[in-house]
Amino acid sequence: MFIRLLFLSIAIFSALFIYISYLNPLSIRFQYLKDSYLETSLSILLISSFFLGALITFFIYLVKDISRAFRERREKKEREQLWERFYLATDALLKGNLSKAEKHILVYLKKRFDDPKAYLKLAEIYQKGGRHQEAIETLRKAKGLKVDQLEILFREAQIYKEMHDYSGATKALEEIIALSPTNLEAMRQLRDIYIDEREWDRALKLQGKIIKRSPDEEIEQERRLQQGLKYECARLDAERGEEEKGIKELKEIIKEDRSFTPPQVLLGELLYKTGETKEAIKVWQKGFEETHEIIFLNKLEDLFLSQEDPRGIIHLYLEAMEKNPNNVVIPFFYARLCLRLEMIDEALQRLKEMELSLSDHPSYHYLLAEVYAHRADYEQAAGEYRKGLELEGGDYIPYRCTSCQKEAKEWLPFCSRCGQWGTYTVCTQEEIKAPLSPLPSKLMSWDF
């Protein structure tokens, strides 16, 4: 292509020279010094002047191009060296060599003091080394560059949380939401801080916004969390002495989801506390009928025994066993109740009936040991207790979170490990564990 253009240029200039020579046949004297001159034709003078100007222009641009090439080559080498520093800093950070990583990134920053990524990397190095305050100061420098602030603010919030400075983390996350009102990640992190700080009202308000912006596949999970926050707000109102307000809020929660256990348990407790014992019984009875959670029978058991009405709870247990013949948990707790009431023979009979189903479970043997001990058959009691220890070697733990498997000796409305409400339930038939609870002194010798 270049050769073709060269020949085309020569042909054009040759034609131009012939044409000018034809129009200007006369010779002229061209004086280039005071006493020096030469004879030439006008056409040659014009063409020579043109070529001389072109040659001078060519050399001027050639020098500029060479200079620019050398400058670009030098700049490219400097950039490569800087990026090599950045890479070495990242590599050292990943390998845990924080001092080496800091050294490389500081060298990089001397040349590229306007690069926010470098400040983020340095802040990460300080964060890994536990130098949180220096990390915060580094991020402030990055914020002063007036670049995209989101990544900087997220890192700042993370560092503040590691410092347990939740006010600082809250401020950073609020800045993110102000810059990006639809940022789900920032809203969720802020909500989690509110939950950790037990600021239930603020968490609930923010959760409503999160649900509106959550994808369809996550809405159900977010609504479940919203129910838990509503429950905590109602519980908080009750603790403040506003029982009526709490009762009203709990009823609203139950209307929305009757499978949610915590508000039903708490509603019964508040009704009983305010003197509405019959209403409390109704709430817990209905709760058991709809969820089959043993916590409701436990609550009813304590209520009836505190009212010195063991017949009422016995009737409920018998009715529950009749309606749920395949549920081995209910007769197990009924046997425990019989033991509490000193109905030793009834307790022993029920446990014997469950021997095939529960003989591989330690709690069965623990409870059977208690029964034998009440019959003064200490040899049998010791044998059963040893069997329980052989199978498990632990204490009674009746409740377990269905989400993260954390165990607890008592039913809890909230799991602190996985952060979910309403997940604790009595262990299944395969892993049933039941503790004995104290009995009112007036009923210790009661029997049919």
Q: Give the per-residue pLDDT at 443.
A: 36
Tokens 């209403």 found at: 279
Comparing CA positions, the residue from 418, 421, 425, 419 lying closest to residue 404 is: 418
Q: Give the per-residue pLDDT at 204.
A: 94
Q: Give the per-residue pLDDT at 82.
A: 76
Q: Give the per-residue pLDDT at 40.
A: 66
Q: Give the per-residue pLDDT at 217.
A: 92
pTM, full prediction: 0.71
Token digits for 294?
């043993």
- Burial (CB < 10 A; 0-12, 13-18, 19+), residue 228, is buried
CA 60 to chain centre: 63
**What is the chain's pLDDT, residue by residue, as a tens digit (448 residues)?**
555 665 566 667 666 666 666 566 666 666 667 667 666 666 666 667 767 776 777 778 778 888 888 887 877 777 777 788 888 888 998 899 999 999 988 988 888 888 889 899 999 999 999 999 999 999 999 988 877 889 999 999 999 999 999 999 999 999 999 999 999 999 999 999 999 999 999 999 999 999 999 999 999 999 999 999 999 999 999 999 999 999 999 999 999 988 899 999 999 999 999 999 999 999 999 999 888 888 999 899 999 988 888 888 988 888 888 888 888 788 888 888 888 888 888 888 887 787 777 767 777 777 778 887 877 777 777 777 777 766 664 445 568 888 888 888 788 888 988 888 888 887 654 444 333 333 333 333 333 2
8 A C-beta contact, residue 421 and residue 227:
yes
CA atoms 302, 334, 427, 361: torsion sign: positive
CA atoms 352, 354, 355, 358: torsion sign: negative
Give the domain ranges of the chain.
2-79
- Helices of type H across 146-260: 150-162, 166-179, 184-196, 200-213, 216-239, 243-256
8 A C-beta contact, residue 188 and residue 214:
no
8 A C-beta contact, residue 25 and residue 56:
no
Length of the chain, please?
Answer: 448
